[in-house]
Structure 1
Amino acid sequence: MGREMMSSGVSLSDMVLGFFEEVEEQRWEDGNDEDGDGDGDESISNATGNRAFWEMEHQLLQEALDRNSSAESRIRRDTEEAVRSIESEGLVCSCLNRMAAKEKCRNCFLRHIAQRLRDAGYNSAICKSKWRRSPDIPSGEHSYVDVVVDSKNGKRSPIRVVIELNFRAEFEMARATLEYNSLVGRLPEMFVGKSEKMKNVVKIVCAAAKKCMKDNKMHMGPWRKHKYMQSKWLSTPERITPGPLVPAMAVTDRPPKIRASMLTFDLHCTAVEVV
């Protein structure tokens, strides 16, 4: 039933999430009324609705993740093989600023992945998404890898497969509820899937994040909102073909040679005792 609805014009996730968002919005407003009479029945009802919400979230997420085409499966296998190969050989970082290791080395890792997929025959590139500030969300940018697959008959539009190496970590939150953490735990560490699958998964998890924040009576940061998360992978990116990789022997860990200057020459001289 769930799969049939998701393949129709109106997806099951849209219908269910819309319904639960309305219910949660009303429950949140009602919860601010502290004049209640200790309603045990209402507490039971809320607990039942809460359990139903998370059960449905798990079901929707699992169905979305299980929908795999042959192209997605093939690209996932080759991407996993590329990651294993890079990790076993050691990442060759060609960044000029070796001190900025984390961000720079992520860029190098993405470049290596994209290049290895190109060597395997894929139309792969590094994607850089940038979006402007709006009243709802701040500006931002994000980098990932994609593969564009042409349709077999050439009549349909090309298929775009998104590759995010740290997908699960993008949704992890401090002080989250157990229910939310359980849902996020179902996400793959590395996401490889069509744009439509990414769209469904992001919508499901962001709805769960919104409920998690409400249950904890915490403000939801704008960088957690659906529109912000969606902009990372579903806005129109700048697509950059990676350049040639740096040979492993070209990068060493030797410290740079100190170049002497006439201005600092005396600092490197041995002190001489004056008699």
Structure 2
Amino acid sequence: MEKTPVTRQNSEEIDKFLDGAASFADMMFGFLDGSNESEENSGDLVHRDENADDLEVEQNKIFWEAQQQLLQATLRRTTCLESRIRQATKQALSEIEQCDCRVGGCRNCLQRELSVRLQSAGFDCYICKSKWRRSPEIPSGEHTYLEVLDKSSNPQKGEVRVVIELNFRAEFEMARANEDYNKLIARLPELLVGKTERVNALIKILCAGAKKCMKEKNMHLAPWRKQKYMQAKWLGTYERTTAAPLPVRHSEPRPQKPKASMLTFDLLERLPGLHYTAVELVW
């Protein structure tokens, strides 16, 4: 077997081949090393994502606990005026009979009768109808509620407005709310009697909770759930009217038709032309 002599040209070609192979090997090992490094980096990202999720869960927990405490403190602080109006309102509601407008009673009739009864109890009570126009943030709407004006508490500050809302909890309920928001709403009274400052504080707490709830569920917050929309209901421009007593309906008894019994019906008097002939029975 002949050996091919190694010439300078062949030597240079071999060197080039070896250098190329070395470069390819370096490239491959570099790629493998880079892939290992990327796996380590991806592991770090997963670890960081888990830490971020744990941090977000903890922040959400702190938020809802703070909202619960704020709501409880806002509802617990009440004035003597609010307590007197609340007691008189509950007493009046227990005495009002349901109207005949529809099954379950009519909200308008209930507010009207309640306003009259509170006036009789010595409170300056009115029916208020708020109405607001559409804006880029919220749609238009209107709402009716009751309010009591008081000037005797602090004459220097002027009139004190006390809002009476018969369905306050229902105004903030949401069908797709999470458990934390539902727990917050469960603390609300159905009947709210509070000064405008207290109503505004409650609106801020509840609307912040609604916004947080929708963010956690990756859903869009409806415009009628926003803070400005809720504030327009009880704190915006409104018209005030004085309620008049509802007309009393007197039901007159229907005249009863004379009833006759065949046992006492006198045919001879009713029918004088009718004659009877005695018949003798012979056996």
TM above 0.5, yes or no, is: yes
Relative to structure 2, which stretch is displaced further, 37-46 or 52-61?
A: 37-46
Aligned counterpart, 1:227? 228
Distance 2:145 2:250 in 1: 27
Q: 1:146 to 1:47 in 2, by over 3 A?
A: same
CA-CA distance at 1:244 after TM superposition: 2.1
Is 2:102 the counterpart of 1:92? Answer: no
Distance 1:163 1:153 in 2: 20
Q: 1:42 to 1:74 in 2, by over 3 A?
A: same
Distance 2:99 2:250 in 1: 9
1:130-161 deviations in Å (ceiling 9; x for gaps): 00000000000000001001134632211110
Q: Is the Cα–Cα contact under 8 Å of residues 114 and 124 in structure 1 kept in the other structure?
A: yes
Aligned counterpart, 2:107? 106
In the TM superposition, 1:120-269 aligns within 5 A as 120-152=121-153, 154-249=155-250
CA-CA distance at 1:66 after TM superposition: 1.0
CA-CA distance at 1:164 after TM superposition: 0.3
Distance 2:173 2:236 in 1: 22
What is the one-letter code of the residue matched to 1:92?
Answer: C
TM-score by length of 1: 0.72
Aligned counterpart, 1:64? 74
Q: Is the Cα–Cα contact under 8 Å of residues 92 and 248 in structure 1 kept in the other structure?
A: no
- SS of the aligned residue for 1:188 comes to coil
Distance 2:231 2:154 in 1: 30
Is 2:91 the counterpart of 1:81? Answer: yes
Relative to structure 2, which stretch is displaced further, 154-163 or 116-125?
A: 154-163
Distance 2:246 2:240 in 1: 18
Relative to structure 2, which stretch is displaced further, 144-153 or 190-199?
A: 144-153
Structure showing greater relative contact order (alpha-carbon pairs closer than 8 Å, 6 or more residues apart): 1
1:21-53 deviations in Å (ceiling 9; x for gaps): xxxxxxxxxxxxxxx635221111111101000
Relative to structure 2, which stretch is displaced further, 144-153 or 230-239?
A: 144-153
Structure 1, gaps ≥5 residues long: 1-35, 252-275
CA-CA distance at 1:91 after TM superposition: 2.0
1:180-203 deviations in Å (ceiling 9; x for gaps): 000000001110000000000000
- SS of the aligned residue for 1:142 comes to strand
Distance 1:200 1:248 in 2: 43
Distance 1:250 1:92 in 2: 15
Distance 2:175 2:250 in 1: 41
Q: 1:47 to 1:146 in 2, by over 3 A?
A: same
TM-score by length of 2: 0.70
Give the percent of matched residue pairs that are identical in Structure 1 and Structure 2.
Answer: 51
Distance 2:163 2:126 in 1: 10
Structure 2, gaps ≥5 residues long: 1-44, 253-283
Number of equivalenced pairs: 208
What is the one-letter code of the residue matched to 2:185?
Answer: V
What is the one-letter code of the residue matched to 1:67?
Answer: R
Q: 1:123 to 1:210 in 2, by over 3 A?
A: same
What is the one-letter code of the residue matched to 2:82?
Answer: E
Q: What is the Cα-based RMSD across aligned positions, in Å?
A: 2.0
